[in-house]
Structure 1
């Protein structure tokens, strides 16, 4: 029996059937029985430099001995928070961007949406508070993130954030029509993932993101790129938006910024959006969290960025993506398989045949369990599972994932 309530879990089934991970090294983890798993989803899309890196541990210990943390409210700061914000601002697509630090991805989405609404209000358009997102979108489980989900995880919580709507994930025409339906003078922001992650791994059609951004620009709608999964190497660049040559107004990040060694996230704010708060006194963003800019978390992030840069892991996904996708696509020869989505960066959706799911709706969940039994730790999707391993993976280990998943399919 356990007192730990697991996320996204049917605790009546999980209680007594936990898988306890006790050790990690590189792309592998081990449970308390000694069973080895290849980390097929970088834990929850975050273990970008792999497990057991001593450089991060050393940086964390050194910082804790010096100063565990001090807050960043009002005039206060700490050296690591300032250093990290400056470094991330230097990665932004627009010079002179500013950085708000948070504790994770969900908190970053809350921050970005609140800031977008406030920006319009202080610019004289307080009626702009509607948020448009996309089908299949996942933006965390905080209040605002839940409100703009494009997945069926909103039911039962009662009233959420008002004035939100979702459009088809791949249609700029649908976005234009929705803005017109709501009223262009009422829409604050459009929130999107460059490549949809937890919602199924959907790569945008060619030209779609350019067209969607152009729609927003025509109507004065802020563009918010949720790069919590896409950033820090997952798509082969620092933030993920580089692959599409985008210049969003707000960019949320988390996960890979520390490779999960400690929790940290943030929002990159373009100069035009930051200007009303920075250029003249009297405008305050009344928002912040206790652990925003936590010195030890920032030290972990700085060390992680050093590893990503020094070993050029930030670009490794571009080198591997074609072979990665081709290797996993070999699974489509199995009669239970539908397709392998992806092809951009080191992430893929291994999807079962829709007819097979219609015949047995429990199949996706059983596939995830069978993959675990076969030694692949991964994350289930509504029609299969996600594969997004640490960036240090070798092609031989990608083939190992393929073979273990093939065995899981045979078991099913």
Structure 2
């Protein structure tokens, strides 16, 4: 069967994470943002119930961030940070991040986003053990339903099978394995089966996002950390979604009392106003690379836009807004309201099988007969953006500047859609 003309005649842009024939002709073209709302080229005004891809924490089109980018570009758009070179914005942001870090006395590796950060963190974990002379420690463990971006390492450690399929091997990067999402006994058994002497690191999101908004089972993350310490396995915390306030603390590590070896970050560091991410690195890992003698090793990381001066200036302005507008406290208020409203929704809608809230992150799981994709499309028609996630789940993660009335209206819109679906 030959391709349809609609597929061949589509726009030049190849949309991300899309079954192309299903989205062509249905795409929403965003042309403007204002606070918690977006405007499309066909005249719609939509509440951004997902904060873009979990990143628009301070809302859209904030003048302070635009001003920071403009001023920096007029001064110096960027200069690389390779070798002897650095730029003042990258140095300043790194100091700011080190002061906010859940890791004591960290070094900060900067790059362009979350997928970059995961690749760097996994490579650094393996490089650490090779430098230590423990050459068998190469396996990277991750959890079922995990999402860690779509670079080679992120694809390889994904706990969402559909992101690993179709490339000819079970894992693009060798030596990866996955463990059940909350099962400590299964994790312990996997470590015993693979041998702790062969495991370099365990990577986990503190709260799984794309996998369905899955908060950790009580005590799970703490036990995972204890197992890492017991078996000399590096503990990598993927805070690309949760970092910079999404859980009501600057990092989820603080909320759960964790002390990871490596923390990856991105999205919230600039609220999406510029592409930037990175890794916070604990002293036990960075110190050998700073020894200062002829035998000091080199960790070969770095990309053209690592430490991009304009992106760093935007990040600093974003952190100022988070602090100056007391938005982390606002997140704790919104979490309580979201939790209350979703529990009420679940109590009156038989189509809801579960609701989960952790920080200002919510998931609404639906019965099999009501597809999350269809519900999300119906919400668009009412002026609200949600997103279907794994497990037939609707995502709720609006900007931190969301008002109580806006959040209530969002949940009410979901209620309305489900009521209509239940009577179809």
TM-score normalised by length of structure 2? 0.93
2:279 to 267, 276, 279: 267
2:381 equivalent in structure 1: 373
User: Is contact 2:263–2:279 with CA below 8 Å preserved after alignment?
Assistant: yes
1:113 to 119, 122, 125: 122
2:184 to 172, 178, 182: 172
1:14 equivalent in structure 2: 23
User: Is contact 1:233–1:316 with CA below 8 Å preserved after alignment?
Assistant: no
State which drifts further: 313-322 or 127-136.
313-322
Counterpart check, 1:77 vs 2:86? yes
1:283 equivalent in structure 2: 297
1:323 equivalent in structure 2: 337
User: Is contact 2:112–2:278 with CA below 8 Å preserved after alignment?
Assistant: yes
The alignment of Structure 1 onto Structure 2 pairs a total of residues equal to 405
Counterpart check, 1:312 vs 2:326? yes
TM-score normalised by length of structure 1? 0.96
Counterpart check, 1:338 vs 2:338? no
1:328, 1:24 → 2: CA distance? 27
Deviation at 1:315, TM superposition (A): 3.2
User: Is contact 2:243–2:268 with CA below 8 Å preserved after alignment?
Assistant: yes
For structure 2, list consecutive stretches of 5 or more residues without a partner in the other structure.
1-9
Deviation at 1:86, TM superposition (A): 0.8
1:155 equivalent in structure 2: 165
Deviation at 1:63, TM superposition (A): 0.2
Paired residue secondary structure (2:155): helix
Counterpart check, 1:199 vs 2:200? no
User: Is contact 2:80–2:307 with CA below 8 Å preserved after alignment?
Assistant: yes
Counterpart check, 1:230 vs 2:239? no
User: Is contact 1:44–1:379 with CA below 8 Å preserved after alignment?
Assistant: no
Paired residue secondary structure (1:62): helix
User: Is contact 1:100–1:267 with CA below 8 Å preserved after alignment?
Assistant: yes
2:220, 2:173 → 1: CA distance? 27
Paired residue secondary structure (1:22): strand
2:406 to 392, 397, 400: 397
2:190, 2:302 → 1: CA distance? 32
2:148, 2:286 → 1: CA distance? 23
For residues 229-284 of structure 1, give each alpha carbon's deviation from its aligned partner in whole angstroms, at most 9, with x where no partner exists. Answer: 01111001112210011110000000000000011000000111111111234310
Deviation >6 Å, runs of 4+: none
User: Is contact 2:210–2:389 with CA below 8 Å preserved after alignment?
Assistant: yes
1:106, 1:365 → 2: CA distance? 25
2:178, 2:387 → 1: CA distance? 24
1:360 equivalent in structure 2: none
User: Is contact 2:103–2:280 with CA below 8 Å preserved after alignment?
Assistant: no
1:3, 1:407 → 2: CA distance? 37
State which drifts further: 256-265 or 92-101.
92-101
1:85, 1:61 → 2: CA distance? 21
User: Is contact 1:2–1:16 with CA below 8 Å preserved after alignment?
Assistant: no
1:386, 1:234 → 2: CA distance? 14
User: Is contact 2:137–2:199 with CA below 8 Å preserved after alignment?
Assistant: yes
User: Is contact 1:172–1:215 with CA below 8 Å preserved after alignment?
Assistant: no
2:68 to 59, 75, 85: 59
1:90 equivalent in structure 2: 99
2:313 to 299, 302, 327: 299
